[in-house]
């Protein structure tokens, strides 16, 4: 199964789902976001798929969130928000088959919608995580709420507030429990497929019930927090032209000092 932004291969009960926009660091345009949501819904009815691995093509990035070229018109009310990434995760589409994330390279911003709904994360030891929102005048709301379910408060606070000023390295992410397993560079997807094969070999009813139980343990707190997100974003975001100016002014090229990785 293929689309312009997503590739899917299934073998032995495991679906490998690859975000396939490497030239854009696997950023999601609206078509790819819709395709990803549709794929999770399809898996609900496909009994040949009992587990899934989500990864990104090219090795440089897992996903960098919403493609900045995407045009998403917004209502004028601060109590309403149209966010095309809200439906890209498996849980948002009522899929309770286990999904593992295999991270190579960067995972940032809107990638957290996906990482926040994975059962666990396997990452190459040179992978990095960061959240650029505040640097470009945007509130990190949905991303921070989802990741706050997986990380100690001080860690997600630092990640969200520091913006592009630093990167959370895979080893530190493993130390704090965000990443379940580290691999050499280039081996994250292969390792995740092996782990997913174990899950696919278990009785699927028991596996899905356990996934649902784990999610229920944090669902109420998450739902209450997410209810505040639209107005926080509407009130706290800079106007789009000021966001664009900050993005354009970011340091680029070989002369720019790379942010520190911790």
Phi, psi of 152 (to 5 degrees): -60, 150
Contacts of 202 (CB under 8 A, 6+ apart): none
Distance, in Å, from the CA atom of 130 to the CA atom of 171, rounded to the nearest integer, reads: 14
Q: Residue 78: inside a domain, yes or no?
A: no
Within a domain: 21: yes
Residue 83 · residue 38 · CB < 8 Å = no
The domain tally of the chain equals 1
- Strand 168-169 and strand 128-130: pairing? antiparallel
Range of the domain at 153: 6-67+84-186+228-248
Residue 214 maps to a domain: no
pLDDT tens, N- to C-terminus, the chain (262 residues) = 556 799 999 999 999 999 999 999 999 999 999 999 999 999 999 999 999 999 999 999 999 999 988 777 777 776 777 788 999 999 999 999 999 999 999 999 999 999 999 999 999 999 999 999 999 999 999 999 999 999 999 999 999 999 999 999 999 999 999 999 999 999 999 999 999 999 999 999 999 999 999 999 988 899 999 999 988 998 899 998 999 999 888 887 666 777 889 9
Answer whether residue 63 is part of any domain. yes
CA–CA distance, 24 with 254 (Å, rounded to integer): 19
Q: What are phi and psi of 128, to 5 degrees?
A: -135, 150
Note whether residue 208 is domain-resident. Answer: no
Residue 36 and residue 85 in contact, taking contact as beta carbons nearer than 8 Å: no
CATH of residue 239's domain is 3.90.226.10
Does a structural domain hold residue 260? no
Residue 17 lies in a domain: yes
Residue 237 resides in a domain: yes
Q: Give me the sign of the Cα torsion angle 21, 23, 27, 33.
A: negative
């Amino acid at each position: 199964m293929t689309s312009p932004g997503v590739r899917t291969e299934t073998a032995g009960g495991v679906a490998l789902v690859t975000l396939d926009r490497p030239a854009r660091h696997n950023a999601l345009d609206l078509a790819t976001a819709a395709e990803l949501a549709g794929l999770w819904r399809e898996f609900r009815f496909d009994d040949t798929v009992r587990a899934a691995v989500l990864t990104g093509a090219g090795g440089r990035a897992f996903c960098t969130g919403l493609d900045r070229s995407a045009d998403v018109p917004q209502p004028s009310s601060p109590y309403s928000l149209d966010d095309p990434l809200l439906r890209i995760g498996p849980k948002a589409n009522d899929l309770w088959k286990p999904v593992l994330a295999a991270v190579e390279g960067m995972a940032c911003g809107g990638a957290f919608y996906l990482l926040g709904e994975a059962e666990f994360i396997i990452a190459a030891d040179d992978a990095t995580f960061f959240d650029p929102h505040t640097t470009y005048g945007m509130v990190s709301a949905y991303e921070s709420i989802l990741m706050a379910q997986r990380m100690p408060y001080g860690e997600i606070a630092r990640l969200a507030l520091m913006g592009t000023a630093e990167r959370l390295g895979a080893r530190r992410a493993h130390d704090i429990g965000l990443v379940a397993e580290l691999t050499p560079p280039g081996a994250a997807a292969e390792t995740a497929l092996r782990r997913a094969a174990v899950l696919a070999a278990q009785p699927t009813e028991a596996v899905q019930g356990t996934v649902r139980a784990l999610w229920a343990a944090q669902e109420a707190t998450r739902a209450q927090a997410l209810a505040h997100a639209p107005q926080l974003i509407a009130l706290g975001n800079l106007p789009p032209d000021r966001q664009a100016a900050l993005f354009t002014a970011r340091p680029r090229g070989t002369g720019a000092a790379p942010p520190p990785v911790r």
